[in-house]
Structure 1
Amino acid sequence: MKNKILLLTTIYPSPDMDLMNSTNVCHYFAKEWVKAGYEVQVVFNYPVYAPIVHKFAELLGKRAASVGQSYFITRQIKECKEYEMDGVSIWRAPLYKMVPKVAVRRSTIEHQVNLITSHLTEKSFKPDFIVAHFCYPHLEMIAKLKKLYQAKTAIVNHIQSLPLRKYIGPQYSEYFKEIDIWGYRSKNIKSDFEKQFGVQAHSFMCHSGVPKEYIVNEPRTFSNSITKFIYVGSLIRRKYPLAVLQGITGANHTLKYSLSYVGEGIERKKIEKFLMTADNQIAVRLWGNLSRTAVLQKLDEAECFIMISKGETFGLVYLEAMARGLITIASKGEGMDDIIEDGENGFFCESGNPTFLASVIDRINHLSIEEKQRISANAIETARMFSDEAVAVNYLRAITD
């Protein structure tokens, strides 16, 4: 009989939903667990707010997504739904609260737990392991479910500065006792959590992985200077897409640069305005949203990937660029500190700082061709260590041992 994993999350892909600021990270793990022989049931506790909030998200669209990291569903969908993706069984259940960034009512949590247990009974699914991504609102849920099923439990933290005392009250510490192991999406998240709540007895790092087929075998070949840059991501405020262009503009003026933007968002207008008003000598292309195959093609056409955003939990796109052998520039202190070693397999820049970025680009272009190739080769090897299969195995080992 297969061991069974119950995964609770507030963010999960759903084909019939228009999701803003979403991520597929939980599905990447779940489908790898299925491949490893586990039976996986996902409970997608998707947030449903007051109708005006969804109307706001629908009307403002890209602007709402650009404001921050809040996760929006543009339509208020109240129905439960069951569906399957890549062998993973998903059950979507609405989780009600009035507005984002406020506590879920205790009665709502109780109701959600009852809904989950009823669904699991109907499916004859008794979990051996219960995992939750996003500590809140799942801490209380997972503590109650552990008592019901006597399963091993884990919670993976995605954000810093969790307001658990505000949302849950002093009883949060009692719920902590029901969590067997804690996961952290980055070193900074772990450090912040431990400052607030102390070092937990058992923990692990929960990094994302890149598909093995994305990883190339040989490093890039470079000329004396790197001039072909690419940005892949939403064109939203916290990712500073315009600062990338401004930084390249401020680098060595004797070189002819090109920059490709892959992605869409409200900041596109600022980029277009800059291109019209500035004395810009850079060849810029705004490609919009592309398929995964087309994104890989654009990465292969470039030499250097840049994204100097803030508020990143873990930027999988950095690993994808490294897997293709690109020289990669990431934000310091924003989720990639565990992965990138400055000057060895990539480079760091201060978030949103075009002057700093210009200096990093000039620094790279002062390196020899051999040094650039060494960094490219190291980037590929790093990506190999963080393949989706490898990180899923590490995750499984952490929660099942």
Structure 2
Amino acid sequence: MKNRIVIITPFYPIKHRKDLFEDTKAVHYLLKEFADDNDILVVHSFMHGFKSAWKQLKRVVPIKLKYKDYLYIDDYGNNVLFFENLLLFPKSIKTLSYFSKKHARLLKQFCTNEQYHPEIGVVHFPTYYVDFIRKFDAFPKSIAIIHSFDIKNIKSRASINYWKRHFDKFDAIGYRSFVIKKEFEELMGIYEKSFMCLSGIPDNFISIRLTQTSYNITDKINLIYAGRLDKNKNVAKSILALNRIDKKIQYSFNIVGDGEEKKHIEELAQNIGVADRIIFHGKVSREKTFHLMESADIFLMVSKKETLGLVYLEAMAAGCIIIGTRGQGIDGIVVDGENGFLTDSNNEEAIYKTLYRVMTLSPTEQKRIRDNAKETVRLLSDVSLSKEYYSNICSVIQEDK
């Protein structure tokens, strides 16, 4: 018998809306292995940030009265209700009650008209949806999946007692990384029913055999970054740190991706005299990005905030030695000096020292790190982790039956 599962998330692919900021497809990938055998409804409740919210006001408001105006089908054949929220105040995570009330009513309308009786609601980024969940109030059971932005919101919005009351209503808590689990439990205490909700990468990436030879400072070292070009990704600080590397060490820094920070990054590289070492590839496919990683030696991404970062895992599978951010999502999967390296994303000196350390590794050390990284990602396939995600959802559904 098919389980009726509602997934609520602010990020999910909507093919006809290329204008939306698409931070990650992680939730989409998590559904990969169980979508066909279950009756899944995705509620993609997108948040327009303050800078774009007022521009969207006339298009989004008033909200239409029929759920079918918001209904789409995804690649797996799941129903997707696509709602848009406007964060009309700076640095706010709270949408107007108008949106929560109307969206909850449309979801109820879908459930009634389609005779859809959800067994569970799985809420990603639950700190965004306090009002929406309260107004819908029709999930027999529910799971909160905690992301890095939830930790930030818990620390900066409302009181701990307020959040404690919110999370106590859920039947289980899932954590998107080991660091997130640690931070959440330090703030909120330990919840009896909890599990890890990690993301994985395709088996065909994992199965690639490593072919790279070692690099050395007498040859050109090939570095790569892949991701959105925004302030959070900290690419400018990476370039400043690279500029401190001894000029005798030859390197190229491949930047894969696009975003609002691109012009600033280009100007910075020009102003400090390293533009000839920076190669911009623009936004390319996931497969093309992986091929570029296979040709690279070092993957450098020191984001300020990162829930997990599948791109780290893909770089590890491709044979890159990775440099990530200490205390963010990859910390716990990467152990500094064992299967990759971690540094302080806020400290240019620390990034420089880590870069120099990695660039001057001996061939023996390079091989050890790469082999350990490859062994780490063998356990993190998207197929196995999708099955684990579904197993944990089923465990909550079955409780007390």
Give the % identical residues: 30
Native 8 Å contact 1:95 1:112 kept in 2: no
Q: Deviations over 1:70-90 (max 9, x none)?
A: xxx996474542111222221
1:41-190 → structure 2 map (5 Å cutoff): 41-47=41-47, 53-55=53-55, 76=60, 78-79=63-64, 80-87=69-76, 88-95=78-85, 98-99=88-89, 101-105=92-96, 108-139=99-130, 141-142=132-133, 148-150=138-140, 152-158=141-147, 159=149, 160-163=151-154, 173-190=164-181
Does the residue aligned with 2:129 lie in a helix, a strand or coil? helix
Structure 1 CA distance, aligned partners of 2:331 and 2:52?
A: 39
Residue 270 of structure 2 corresponds to which residue in structure 1?
Answer: 276
Native 8 Å contact 1:216 1:380 kept in 2: no
* 1:193 pairs with one of 184, 191, 199: 184
Letter in 2 for 1:267: E
Instruction: Give the drift of 1:156.
Output: 0.5
Residue 9 of structure 2 corresponds to which residue in structure 1?
Answer: 9
Structure 1 CA distance, aligned partners of 2:87 and 2:227?
A: 29
Letter in 1 for 2:73: E
Letter in 2 for 1:275: A
Does the residue aligned with 1:43 lie in a helix, a strand or coil? strand
Matched, 1:372 2:366: yes
Structure 2 CA distance, aligned partners of 1:54 and 1:135?
A: 24
Does the residue aligned with 2:174 lie in a helix, a strand or coil? strand
Residue 321 of structure 1 corresponds to which residue in structure 2?
Answer: 315
Q: Deviations over 1:170-198 (max 9, x none)?
A: 66555434311101222332233223322
Native 8 Å contact 1:6 1:40 kept in 2: yes
Letter in 2 for 1:25: A
Structure 2 CA distance, aligned partners of 1:301 and 1:165?
A: 42
Instruction: Give the drift of 1:132.
Output: 0.6
Greater shift, 96-105 or 20-29, is seen at 96-105
Does the residue aligned with 1:32 lie in a helix, a strand or coil? coil
Please report the TM-score for the alignment, with normalisation by the length of structure 1: 0.84
Call closer, same or farther: CA 1:273–1:164 in 2, change over 3 Å: closer
Aligned length, in residue pairs: 382
Call closer, same or farther: CA 1:259–1:119 in 2, change over 3 Å: same
Call closer, same or farther: CA 1:359–1:334 in 2, change over 3 Å: same
Residue 240 of structure 2 corresponds to which residue in structure 1?
Answer: 246
Native 8 Å contact 1:309 1:351 kept in 2: yes
Call closer, same or farther: CA 1:353–1:397 in 2, change over 3 Å: same
Call closer, same or farther: CA 1:202–1:139 in 2, change over 3 Å: farther
Does the residue aligned with 2:34 lie in a helix, a strand or coil? helix
Does the residue aligned with 2:7 lie in a helix, a strand or coil? strand
Structure 2 CA distance, aligned partners of 1:224 and 1:165?
A: 44
Structure 1 CA distance, aligned partners of 2:357 and 2:52?
A: 49
- Unaligned runs of at least 5 residues, structure 1: 59-72
Please report the TM-score for the alignment, with normalisation by the length of structure 2: 0.84
